[in-house]
Chain A
C-alpha cells in the first residue's frame, strides 16, 4: 500500500511497529507539499526545519516510550488561527501578518503531548469569516478535486491539505460550518464537536459563543482519535466542560439507532445531486440496521439572519483588540490616536471582515440592541428547543452539509448574501451548541465530492463516530483523493 493511501491511525500503527520512521514520513509529506502547493496553496506557512527537528524528537520519544499514543509521529497541520508558540499565527489577515504568539493554544499543547508532527499553518478566510477561503490576505486556496473551484471555508486550507494528502489530518475551527462545509467540498471527514468539548484557549476568536475547534481527517476513526486527543475541560477556558471521552467506534451494526431526517433540510435550493447522495447515505445507514425517522425543524428559516447577527456582534467586539497599538499591523504615519485606530483598522482588515464588524457594531448599538441582538438570542434559544424535540424522536440527524458542491472561484465574491445562504444547514448546529460531523458520501455529476452531515445531541459525539464508521466500513468515498479515485 502506498504511504498516502493510509489513514492517520494506520500510519501511526506502522510508525509504532517501526515499519516506517517519523523523519521519513515527514520528508515524504514535505515533498508532497512542495508538489501540491503549486496548485492547491493550502498553507500560509510551512515550517520544514521545525518539522524535521520535531520529527527526530518524536521518533526518539516513540523509541523511549514518551509518545505511546496512536497518533504519535503522524504529520499534520494547524489552521492559522490557532496559536502556535514561535510560529506566526496570522488569521490570514494583513493585520496579523507578522504576529508570532508567545504561547501555545491548549489544543496545540495536547497534540504536542500526543507526539504530533506539525508541518505548518493552513490557509483560511480572513479571521474565519467566509465560506470559500477567498478572503485570505495570502491568496486563495484551490479545491484539489478541481482547481477552478473553491475548497470551501473558512477552514479551506485544512480541508484541501487533507484532501491533497499533504498531511494526514488538520485542525480547523467551525463557527457556522467552517469545518463541515469545506470537508463536504473537499471530500474529507470533519467534525465540529459540542460547544465546550474542546478548549478554545489560544483560538483567535471570531464569535466566542459559537467557535469550536475540530479535526479534518481521512476517516471517522481518525476523527474520533484526534477529537479524543484534544477534548476535555481546560482550566484556561471557563466555557469548556468535563465529560467522558467518546469511545473509539467499532463494527457496522447500527441496530436500534434512530436516524432523524428533517425535511426542512431537504427543501428549496438544495442541488439535486446533493440531495440524492445524502438520501443514499441515509438508506445505507438503514441497511446497517438504523431506523429512519422523519422529523421537523421549522425554525431553520431564521437560522441565517440570527446567526449573522450573533456572530457579527461578537466579532465586532472580539476584533476590537486589533487596533495597531500593541501588535499587528500599524501604519507608518498617523496624526493622532484616533487616526492610528482608523488607519490601522481600515488598512489592516479586508472587506468581508470590515463588513461583519460594521454589521455587528450596528446590531449592538444603543436603540437597536433589542430589535437585533436580543431577538437573535431568542431565535438561538428556539433553535435549541427545536433540536431538543428532534432528539426526543431520534438519536442523530442526517442532513446535507451544504446546498451545493464546490462552486467556481469568484462565484460569490461580489454577492456575500449568496455565500451566507450556503451556510443554511450548518449554522443552526453552532447556535444550538451541538456536535456536527461530515462524511464524504459520493460525487456529483462533475466529479465533485458531496458530504452528509450527522448532527447529534450535546456530547453525543460517540453516536456520530459510530454511525460514520459503520457507514465508511461499507463505502470507499473517504479513501478516494484526487489522483486516486479508485478505492
Chain B
C-alpha cells in the first residue's frame, strides 16, 4: 500500500466587525428579533441600490497588509447569481475578477517546523440571511438580519499537509484578524467559517488528486476530526479501486462522518458579471498608507513588549497573547494593579482552568479586569488569602464586579488583629493537648497539623504564615 499525503487549502469566511452593513446603514449586531436589522436595501426591495461602506474596504486592506498581500488598486464588484430564499436579490455581490488582495502569505510553526502558507486572494462580499423551519406550522421563515453583513473570503493556496498545519494557520489567521479589530472571529456565532478543500496523493507525486470541499465545520476540533476523517475516506476509496469525486460534502461532527451535498456534475452556473450598480473603486497609495499607519499592535509585537516591559518569559507572553480578548484583559488588569506577573499568573492558572472546566471561549469571557486587579491587590497586600482569593476569583469569573462587597459579605478578609488570632490559637492548643505534647517531645511534623487545625478554626480567613508565627509564639518558641 502506498503512503498518502493530504493536500489542503482553506476558504475562510470572516464577518467584519463594522458597525453597519456593507451596502446600507443597518446594524451588524448579532441576534435581534428576525427582520429587525433590515431596510429596503438589504432586503433587496425593487429599485434599491448598494453603496459601499468604506470601512469594509479599509478592513479588507488591513487584512491584506497583515497577510503580506498585494492590494488591488482598481477594484470592482461582481454579481454571483443564484436563487435561494435567504438571498433576497437572487444574487450575491462579491468579487470574482478583481479581488482586493492577492498573493500573500501567513507564517506558521508546527511540530514539523516553520512554514509559509500562501494566500491566493482575499475578497469582499455580502452575507445572506437565514432560513428557519418551524415544525409546528410546517413552514420555513426567512430572517434577513444577516443579509448584507460584510464578509471577507480568504482563500489560501493548497499549501497545508496536516490537520496540525491547518489549525496553526487558522489560529494565526484568527489571531491576526482579531488584533486588527477586523473581526471578532467567533466560530460559534458563525463570524468565522472555514471550508476545507482536501485531496490526497501518494507521497512523491506532484500532481494533485481530486479534491472535495467540506462544509459545516463549527470548531477547530471539528476541523481536525473532519480532516482526519476525509483523509481516511479518500485513501480507502482509492485503495479499494474507486475514485474520489469532486463534490461538496457536509461534515456531521456528531456522527463523525461527511455526506455528499452536491457534485461538480450538477454544479451551479453562477453567471458572474460586473455589478453595474457599483462603479469601479480606486484605492490610492495614500489610502493604503493611512490604513497601514493605523495598524494596531499585533501579537508578535506584544510578545516582545511583554518580555521587555513586564519581564515575562517568552512562553508566558505567548500564552497571554494567543487570543486578543485575553491580552486585552491582561493589559487592562495590569494597568490597574501594576503587578503584571501576578495578573498573568491568575490568567494562565486559575482563569484558563475555569475556562476549560466551564467551556468558556476567550471571546465570551465575562471577567472584569478591574475585579482581577482588585483581587491581585488584596492578595498582595495580605488582605486576602490565596485560598479565599480563589473563591472571589470564581465569583469574578462569572461576571461579578463588586469584589470588595463579595469579600465582606462572605467574611473573607484576613483578620489583621493579633489578639483575635491568639484567642482562637489558645483554644486550638487546648483542644490538641496530646499533639502539643508530641511536638514538644521533638516531633516537628505535628506543627503542620497544628497550623491546619488553626486555619480550620479561622475558616481560612488567615494568612498561614502569620498563623505559623503566632503558633510558634504560643508554643513558647
Is A286 in contact with chain B by the CB < 8 A criterion? no
Is A105 in contact with chain B by the CB < 8 A criterion? yes
- Distance, CA A235 to CA B47, complexed state (A): 14
Beta-carbon contact of B49 and A236 below 8 Å: yes
Q: Which of B48, B88, B142, B271 contacts A201 (CB 8 A)?
A: B48
Contact with B along A92-114 (1 / 0, CB 8 A): 00001001011101000000000
Q: Which of B79-87, B240-248, B312-320, B348-356 forms contacts with chain A?
A: B79-87
Is A209 in contact with chain B by the CB < 8 A criterion? yes
Beta-carbon contact of A200 and B83 below 8 Å: no
Beta-carbon contact of B273 and A239 below 8 Å: no
A374's closest neighbor in chain B, by CB?
A: B273
Beta-carbon contact of A365 and B271 below 8 Å: yes
22 contacts between A and B (CB under 8 A): A83-B46, A99-B46, A103-B40, A204-B46, A204-B47, A235-B51, A236-B51, A237-B51, A238-B49, A238-B277, A313-B273, A317-B91, A317-B273, A320-B83, A321-B46, A321-B89, A322-B46, A323-B83, A326-B142, A337-B85, A341-B83, A365-B269
Is B158 in contact with chain A by the CB < 8 A criterion? no
Beta-carbon contact of A89 and B46 below 8 Å: yes
Given A83-B47, A361-B271, A364-B271: A321 and B85 within 8 A (CB)? no
- Distance, CA A105 to CA B46, complexed state (A): 10
Contact with A along B55-97 (1 / 0, CB 8 A): 0000000000000000000000001010101001111000000
Residue count of chain B within 8 Å CB distance of chain A: 28
Is A215 in contact with chain B by the CB < 8 A criterion? no
- Distance, CA A207 to CA B277, complexed state (A): 10
Contact with A along B254-279 (1 / 0, CB 8 A): 00000000000000010111001111
Chain A residues numbered 304-358 whose CB sits less than 8 Å from any CB in chain B: 313-314, 316-317, 320-323, 325-327, 337, 341
B86's closest neighbor in chain A, by CB?
A: A325
In the assembled complex, how far is the CB of residue A431 from the closest CB belonging to chain B, in whole angstroms?
13
Given A238-B278, A317-B81, A361-B271: A323 and B90 within 8 A (CB)? yes
A203's closest neighbor in chain B, by CB?
A: B47
Q: Which residues of A contact B51 (CB under 8 A)?
A: 235-238
Beta-carbon contact of B90 and A320 below 8 Å: yes
Is B50 in contact with chain A by the CB < 8 A criterion? yes
In the assembled complex, how far is the CB of residue A230 from the closest CB belonging to chain B, in whole angstroms?
15
Q: Which of A101, A200, A327 contacts B49 (CB 8 A)?
A: A200
- Distance, CA A368 to CA B47, complexed state (A): 29
Q: Is the interface on chain A under 10, 10 to 19, 20 to 34, or 35 or more residues?
A: 35 or more
Chain A residues numbered 184-228 whose CB sits less than 8 Å from any CB in chain B: 200-205, 207-209
Beta-carbon contact of B88 and A326 below 8 Å: yes
Q: Which of A101, A237, A320, A325 contacts B45 (CB 8 A)?
A: A101
Q: Which residues of B contact A237 (CB under 8 A)?
A: 49, 51
Chain B residues numbered 12-58 whose CB sits less than 8 Å from any CB in chain A: 40, 43-52
Beta-carbon contact of B90 and A105 below 8 Å: no
Interface residues, chain A, with chain B CB atoms under 8 Å away? 81-83, 89, 91, 96, 99, 101-103, 105, 200-205, 207-209, 235-239, 313-314, 316-317, 320-323, 325-327, 337, 341, 361, 364-366, 369, 373
- Distance, CA A366 to CA B40, complexed state (A): 31
Beta-carbon contact of A239 and B277 below 8 Å: yes
Q: Which residues of A contact B52 (CB under 8 A)?
A: 238
Name the residue in B46, B49, B89, B271 with the highest tally of chain A Cβ atoms < 10 Å from its Cβ: B46
Beta-carbon contact of B50 and A325 below 8 Å: no
Q: Which residues of A contact B45 (CB under 8 A)?
A: 101-103, 327
Beta-carbon contact of B88 and A105 below 8 Å: no
Beta-carbon contact of B273 and A320 below 8 Å: no
Q: Which residues of B contact A323 (CB under 8 A)?
A: 83, 85, 90
Contact with A along B183-213 (1 / 0, CB 8 A): 0000000000000000000000000000000
In the assembled complex, how far is the CB of residue A11 from the closest CB belonging to chain B, in whole angstroms?
29
Q: Which residues of B contact A89 (CB under 8 A)?
A: 46-47
In the assembled complex, how far is the CB of residue A379 from the closest CB belonging to chain B, in whole angstroms?
16
Name the residue in B88, B276, B279 with the highest tally of chain A Cβ atoms < 10 Å from its Cβ: B276
Name the residue in A209, A316, A317, A326 with the highest tally of chain B Cβ atoms < 10 Å from its Cβ: A317
B51's closest neighbor in chain A, by CB?
A: A238
Q: Which residues of B contact A209 (CB under 8 A)?
A: 276
- Distance, CA A361 to CA B204, complexed state (A): 44
Q: Which residues of B contact A322 (CB under 8 A)?
A: 46
Q: Which residues of A contact B48 (CB under 8 A)?
A: 201-202
- Distance, CA A239 to CA B49, complexed state (A): 9
Known A103-B40, A316-B271; 11 more pairs at CB < 8 Å: A82-B47, A89-B47, A99-B46, A200-B49, A237-B51, A239-B279, A317-B79, A320-B90, A321-B90, A326-B44, A326-B142
In the assembled complex, how far is the CB of residue B282 from the closest CB belonging to chain A, in whole angstroms?
13
- Distance, CA A341 to CA B81, complexed state (A): 14
- Distance, CA A103 to CA B45, complexed state (A): 10
Beta-carbon contact of B40 and A321 below 8 Å: no
Q: Which residues of B contact A236 (CB under 8 A)?
A: 49, 51
Q: Which residues of B contact A101 (CB under 8 A)?
A: 45-47
- Distance, CA A337 to CA B47, complexed state (A): 25
